[in-house]
Amino acid sequence: MKPSIKLVAGNSNRPLAEAISNYLEVPLATCQVKRFADMEVFVEIQENVRGEDVFVIQSTSFPANDHLMELLIIIDALRRSSARRITAVLPYFGYARQDRKPGPRTPISAKLVANLITRAGADRVLTLDLHAGQIQGFFDIPTDNLYGAPVMVRDIREHMDLANVMVVSPDVGGVVRARALAKRIDAPLAIVDKRRERPGESEVMNIIGDVEGRSCILVDDIIDSGGTLCNAADALLAKGAREVYAYCTHGVLSGGAVARIASSRLKQLVITDSIQPTEAVKVAPNIRVITIAPLIGEAIGRTATESSVSSLFD
């Protein structure tokens, strides 16, 4: 039996919201999200949501503050329209990298954003590959953190010869993520030990593991400037790797990242559509986008029917 739900989409990633809508065979609710002349956000839900189970699909990607305000105002509009339950579906949770105090007198912005979403009126949160798992604890409401690994594993199996593959973590902090993927495809694991001199720049120091003659797959949750992955690819090739691929869930790709990837020695970068790909990403010769719409759609369906979401990843 199909659950009775409403899907509401903000402006951050309309194609993904439409793909999720198609997967669930539930049309997107009629909703107007627009700007006044001074760029204030205005929202009007143009159909009845009283007593409904509503899912708001909105990545807080660039421009992060605009998309976050859209999300908060949509949630407030739904709460004031007497929706029974509101789930904030964030394929990409912005501010996730600010999950601790890196120095004195600095904020923990991920916690602040969690508070804003909760106070706006969300009853639960559904998100994908959080930068740090403990961010789930920043929310005082139920939070499901989905994993992009099953989608990536399926793609790797379709496109690569697993007999010669080695999974590589681009830094020590990502070892758990890389190990989980390596286990799923029964591949060995290597680690890039790097020292970051300043934000946005990285210096590769050492490769832990024998990558000689291997097809290496770098695995990460976010690719922003692309510097870390490009440097890691160079280091792996210098150590005798045959070719280097990269799989990242969230393609932030700010500044000159796309040009950097296109001119790098990465054979291919595979990202998901958790953030709407720009035109530059679509035409880049060595960047490919895979969809996470079925994964998020399935999670929404299971949440609506009170079924297990974690069994998606067993």
Residue 107: how many other CB atoms lie within 10 Å: 10
- Would you list which residues are annotated within the binding site for Mg(2+)? 131, 171
- Would you list which residues are annotated within the binding site for ATP? 38-40, 97-98
Residue 123, φ and ψ in degrees, nearest 5: -95, -25
Q: Is 282 an annotated catalytic residue?
A: no
Structure tokens at 73: 């105002």
Domain count, the chain: 2
Between CA 157 and CA 161 the distance in angstroms is: 7
- C-alpha atoms less than 13 angstroms from C-alpha of 136 in its C-beta half-sphere: 12
Q: Are residues 94 and 166 in the same domain?
A: no
Contact 258, 284 (CB under 8 A): yes
Tens place of pLDDT per residue across the chain (314 aa): 455 899 999 999 999 999 999 999 999 999 999 999 999 999 999 999 999 999 999 999 999 999 999 999 999 999 999 999 999 999 999 999 999 998 999 999 999 999 999 999 999 999 999 998 889 999 999 999 999 999 999 999 999 988 899 999 998 888 999 999 999 999 999 999 876 566 666 565 689 999 999 999 999 999 999 988 998 999 999 999 999 999 999 999 998 999 999 999 999 999 999 999 999 999 999 999 999 999 999 999 999 999 999 888 87
Q: Are residues 73 and 186 in the same domain?
A: no
- Would you list which residues are annotated within the binding site for D-ribose 5-phosphate? 196, 220, 224-228
Q: Are residues 31 and 133 in the same domain?
A: yes
Q: Are residues 216 and 198 in the same domain?
A: yes
Q: Are residues 98 and 135 in the same domain?
A: yes
Q: Are residues 282 and 154 in the same domain?
A: yes
pTM for this prediction: 0.91
pLDDT of residue 217: 97
Q: Are residues 140 and 158 in the same domain?
A: no
pLDDT of residue 2: 55
CATH of the domain at 221: 3.40.50.2020
pLDDT of residue 193: 87
Q: Are residues 142 and 153 in the same domain?
A: no
- Choice among 183, 194, 239, 282 that is catalytic: 194
Q: Are residues 12 and 111 in the same domain?
A: yes
Q: Are residues 171 and 87 in the same domain?
A: no
Q: Are residues 196 and 117 in the same domain?
A: no
Domain of 280, in residue numbers: 149-291
pLDDT of residue 201: 61
Contact 216, 241 (CB under 8 A): yes
Q: Are residues 9 and 116 in the same domain?
A: yes
